[in-house]
Amino acid sequence: MATDEDAAGEDATDEDALAAEWESMADEEEGGEDVDNERVLNQDEIDSLLGVDDAMGGEAETSGIQAIVNSALVSYERLPMLEVVFDRLVRMMSTSLRNFTSDNVEVSLDNIASIRFGDYLNSIPLPAMLSVFQAEEWDNFGLLVVDSALIYSIVDVLLGGRRGTAAMRIEGRPYTTIERNLVERMVSVVLSDLSAAFDPLSPVTFRFDRLETNPRFATIARPANAAVLARLRIDMEDRGGRLELMLPYATLEPVRELLLQMFMGEKFGRDSIWETHLANELWNTEIELDAVLDQVVVPLNEVINWQPGTQIMLNAQTNSPIDMRCGEIPLFVGNMGQKSGNMAIKINKKLRKM
């Protein structure tokens, strides 16, 4: 006969088997869901997620994680008047480089961007020539980078190369003295135009300092400092190249307030008609002048005790000088007298230059 203990053992065995079966079914369902939901990203989707796109050449705005990282790194104010200065520079360079090369030269402004100085030095395509120049009135430096394509094009044009043929490039060798001198002449022309472009806003002289081929020797600011980068394209028929102008924000700090102005016309925000009208109205403005005979300092308790008939003793005499003031500003010094029965003052000295 089966005992109670045997029956209990069989029930426990059935329960364990049932529990194991349910657990295996649950694992199969979870595994099936994972298999169904599993999806492998291709390389394009990974690049889009990270904000890296090689096809754009690194010049387009990044997105994804890269944009989130860069949003905390580079966020600088816009300088509206600086765009006007660069537009003037493009127009002036088109004329000056045409006279310099005796060739058809077209200059265009690709873009203006804010960048960290260290990041820009690491992104300069070599070989190139880096011209360091000084802004004398602002007591700081800037950088002018000429790429190899423009270097060989300028050398070819200035030394009588044929039109309609591309400039010959010999990569992998250092630049010769003739090439450096010709590029230095072109840089001097560009710096002269840059000084003229800034002249209506703030007179400044950009002086060529030195020419470098290694970015490490062209360090004019700390790597983390912000800078404005303007990329220019110079085309001479089928020849040409890029020229990049980099100005650190520290260099532009003396004229920062002027660069923040909004551009209102060809006079850099100035309106000559309004200036003339304002000047004419100012000359007709009426002001009130006070003739001060003397001033005394009296304690407040004495002033409170003054009554009608109280006499105040002044230190002035009949020939004492009298100050003529407009508000609190002294303008003239004179002596008191009479003319045509009226009190008058003869001006002896002018205190302010107006």
* Distance from C-alpha of 185 to C-alpha of 104, rounded to nearest angstrom: 18
Whether residues 139 and 255 share a domain: the answer is: yes
C-alpha 321: how far from its chain's center? 54
Given 190, 224, 259, the domain boundary residue is: 259
The pLDDT tens digits for 236-286 are 877 888 899 999 988 888 888 888 876 544 455 556 788 888 888 888 888
- Domain assignment present for residue 242? The answer is yes
- Domain assignment present for residue 9? The answer is no
The pLDDT tens digits for 55-90 are 444 444 455 565 555 554 444 557 788 888 899 999
Q: At what angle do helices 148-158 and 177-198 cross, to 10 degrees?
A: 100
In contact, 191 and 210? CB cutoff 8 Å: no
For residue 350, the model assigns a pLDDT of: 83
pTM to 2 decimal places:
0.56
Q: What is the CATH number of the domain that holds 313?
A: 2.30.330.10
* Distance from C-alpha of 259 to C-alpha of 254, rounded to nearest angstrom: 10
- Domain assignment present for residue 47? The answer is no
Domain count, the chain: 2
Paired sense of beta strands 226-236 and 106-116, if any:
antiparallel
Whether residues 101 and 242 share a domain: the answer is: yes
- Domain assignment present for residue 31? The answer is no
For residue 35, the model assigns a pLDDT of: 46
DSSP string, 136-183: TTTTEEEEEEEEHHHHHHHHHHHTTPPTTSPPP--TTSPPPHHHHHHH
In contact, 133 and 209? CB cutoff 8 Å: yes
For 82, which DSSP code?
A: H
Domain that holds residue 241: 80-259
Mean pLDDT of the region 116-145 = 88
**pLDDT bracket for residue 191 (50, 70, 90):** very high
Whether residues 217 and 294 share a domain: the answer is: no
Helical ranges in 159-266 per DSSP H: 177-198, 249-252, 256-259
| pLDDT cut 70: percent of the chain above it | 74
* Distance from C-alpha of 190 to C-alpha of 109, rounded to nearest angstrom: 14
Whether residues 206 and 104 share a domain: the answer is: yes
